[in-house]
């Protein structure tokens, strides 16, 4: 199986009755809590059905004690090292999958704090970053660019935490990101950023950085990396990859190898359900609940993951 990077703009999806009723038939009952979470589950099910050839209606998903979704179906020995991760925040649900290495993904939308000023927001979040990271964040030319750099760092940290599968007890100050370059050119994939773990460079991990944005005409565009142009909204996406290890029989040593960074593919709702098989019969009350409980994508796009 090849590497996979998918994104679904759930806030731009305005389902009709038929689409919503179908979507509710395609996931397990406990997966219907929130739209963004449910979109992530559809991404996972599409991945497993199409890449691992597990029938959609036979897929069984659970969460670890740390909240990471996992597949509990028995896989063939060739798929034993398969890993995937999802994230949803702002307008998007995103997925990264790797056949042979640990992977974590996080998406962050740069937006103004819900209440208070940016300096006050930074004061509250101060303990989550090292002195060097704060120096880089606050060195940007204005408060908006500082906030944008803050979310770039946050996405990187979250991608690593999700890849290693630890919970809230892990101190984020143990990891420090030296982002490079500070200014990124549109149209490129950057992996120069390095991470320090407890002050030592961690050479067994690679970090991909992308940005997803919406252009002025509303068309959805996937861009590699970051760009300086300020539009209405930004979405930073960071992917943490543990480099695969290969045993060299000649010298009897284990080496790490680099992995290929694929482009993100944006999926439509039709793409999401292309291989779907319903898990349950249609329930017309789902549409009534959707309308009455204000579950529209536009209302949920601002909720954190």
- CATH topology match: 1-101+260-305 vs 109-258: yes
Instruction: Work out whether the CA dihedral 256, 260, 265, 269 comes out positive or negative.
Output: negative
Q: Is 168 exposed, middle or buried (0-12, 13-18, 19+ CB in 10 A)?
A: exposed
The residues that bridge with 109 in the sheet, in sequence order, are 235
Kindly provide the residue ranges of all beta strands, DSSP E only, lying in the chain, ordered along the sequence.
4-8, 61-63, 69-71, 83-89, 92-98, 103-110, 175-178, 194-197, 200-201, 205-214, 220-224, 234-242, 245-248, 253-256, 265-266
* Cβ–Cβ under 8 Å, residues 251 and 243: no
| Boundaries of every domain in the chain | 1-101+260-305, 109-258
CA–CA distance, 205 with 175 (Å, rounded to integer): 12
Identify which of 106, 178, 107, 187 has the alpha carbon closest to the alpha carbon of residue 136. 178
CA–CA distance, 25 with 270 (Å, rounded to integer): 15
* Cβ–Cβ under 8 Å, residues 207 and 191: yes
Structure token pair of residue 34: 């929130």
Instruction: Work out whether the CA dihedral 273, 276, 279, 285 comes out positive or negative.
Output: positive
Enumerate residues 6+ apart whose C-beta is below 8 A from 283. 21, 24, 25
Fold of 109-258: Ribosomal Protein L22; Chain A (3.90.470)
CA–CA distance, 199 with 217 (Å, rounded to integer): 45
Identify which of 293, 280, 304, 289 has the alpha carbon closest to the alpha carbon of residue 22. 280
Structure token pair of residue 77: 């020995």
**How many CA atoms does the CB half-sphere of 285 hold within 13 Å?**
0
Alpha helix (H) residue ranges in 52-195:
118-125, 131-138, 143-164
Q: Does domain 1-101+260-305 have CATH number 3.20.20.10?
A: no
Give 18-68 as a DSSP string.
HHHHHHHHSS-GGGGS-HHHHHHHHHHHHHHHHHS---GGG--EEE-TTS-
Residue 298's pLDDT is what? 42
What are the 10-residue block averages of pLDDT along the chain, 305 residues in total?
Answer: 87 90 89 76 94 91 78 76 88 89 89 85 92 96 91 92 83 92 66 92 86 43 29 69 63 53 84 94 89 56 38
Instruction: Work out whether the CA dihedral 279, 281, 287, 289 comes out positive or negative.
Output: negative
């Amino acid at each position: 199986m090849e590497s996979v990077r998918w994104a679904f703009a759930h806030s731009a999806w305005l389902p009709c009755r038929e689409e919503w009723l179908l979507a509710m038939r395609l996931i397990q009952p406990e997966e219907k809590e929130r739209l963004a979470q449910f979109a992530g589950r559809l991404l996972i099910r599409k991945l497993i059905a199409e890449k691992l050839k597990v029938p959609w209606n036979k897929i069984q998903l659970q969460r670890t004690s740390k909240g990471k979704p996992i597949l509990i179906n028995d896989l063939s020995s060739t798929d034993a090292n398969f890993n995937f991760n999802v994230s949803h925040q702002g307008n998007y649900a995103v997925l990264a999958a790797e056949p042979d290495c640990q992977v974590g993904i996080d998406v962050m939308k740069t937006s103004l704090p819900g209440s208070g000023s940016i300096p006050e927001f930074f004061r509250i979040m101060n303990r989550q970053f090292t002195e060097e990271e704060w120096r880089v964040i606050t060195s940007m030319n204005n408060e908006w660019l500082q906030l944008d750099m803050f979310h770039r760092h946050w996405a990187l940290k979250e991608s690593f935490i999700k890849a290693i599968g630890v919970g809230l007890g892990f101190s984020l100050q143990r990891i420090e990101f030296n982002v490079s370059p500070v200014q990124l050119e549109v149209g490129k994939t950057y992996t120069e950023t390095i991470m320090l773990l407890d002050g030592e460079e961690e050479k067994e991990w690679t970090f991909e950085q992308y940005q997803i944005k919406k252009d002025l005409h509303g068309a959805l565009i996937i861009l590699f990396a970051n760009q300086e142009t300020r539009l209405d909204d930004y979405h930073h996406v960071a992917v943490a990859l543990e480099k695969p290890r290969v045993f060299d029989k000649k010298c009897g040593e284990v080496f790490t190898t680099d992995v290929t960074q694929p482009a993100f593919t944006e999926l439509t709702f039709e793409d999401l359900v292309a291989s779907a098989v319903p898990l349950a019969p249609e329930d017309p009350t789902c549409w009534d609940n959707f309308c009455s409980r204000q579950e529209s994508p536009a209302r949920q796009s601002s909720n954190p993951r």
